[in-house]
Amino acid sequence: MSSTTDKIKGVANEAAGNVKQGIGKATDDPKLQAEGKAQELKGDAQKTAGHAKDAVKDGADAVKRSL
């Protein structure tokens, strides 16, 4: 996946996770709250992966420019 794709999927998973958590709290459903938290964390990890890919690419580009 590209870094942009990772970031977009990450934001979507975070948003969906937050919604699940909110519904879980409103309906007093701890399982749904936990699923929402897990999905939110997955989204955060995806966004982090996207940022890491950008950093690696930027570093590689800087090395190429310095050669």
pLDDT value at position 49?
95
For 7, other C-beta atoms within 10 Å of its C-beta total: 20
- How many structural domains compose the chain? 1
- Rounded CA-CA distance 61/13 in Å is 30
pLDDT of 5 reads 94
For the purposes of burial, counting CB atoms within 10 Å of the CB of 10, is it exposed (0-12), middle (13-18) or buried (19 or more)?
buried
Write down the pLDDT at residue 55: 94
Kindly report, residue by residue over 8-55, the tens digit of the pLDDT.
999 999 999 999 999 999 999 999 999 999 999 999 999 999 999 999
pLDDT at 1 over 90: no
In angstroms, the first-to-last Cα distance of the chain is 28
* Domain hosting residue 28, numbered range: 3-66
Residue 11 carries which side chain, given as an amino acid letter? V
The tokens for 18 are 């937050």
